[in-house]
Amino acid sequence: MRPTKVVGAALLVLSGAIFVYYTLWTIITPFLESDNPIQRLFPPREYAIILPVFAGVTLMGLVAMLYGYLMIKESFRKRDKAKQK
């Protein structure tokens, strides 16, 4: 198996595990009693909203920074190309 397939398979398993954990956390735990031992496996439910929002805002910020970097790089490339003419 090629290394890229191994990494892809590992990421697929990881994302599947995160999806199952988050689904159990947000859908199943509200129906359990607060003193149930399963509740100790999960953080407080407030974080079920806070963490994805934080991750989404962070991801959008990184994408915006990458886009800005690429736009600046392209403008420098065009400027240098125009100077050569």
C-alpha 56/C-alpha 58 separation (Å) is: 5
Q: Which of 54, 52, 32 is nearest to 41 (CA)?
A: 32
pLDDT at 54 over 90: yes
C-alpha 45/C-alpha 32 separation (Å) is: 12
pLDDT digits (tens, 9 = 90+) for 60-85: 999 999 999 999 999 999 888 888 86
**Nearest-10 Cα torsion for 37, 46, 16, 10:** -100
pLDDT digits (tens, 9 = 90+) for 9-41: 999 999 999 999 999 999 988 898 988 998 888
pTM of the model: 0.67
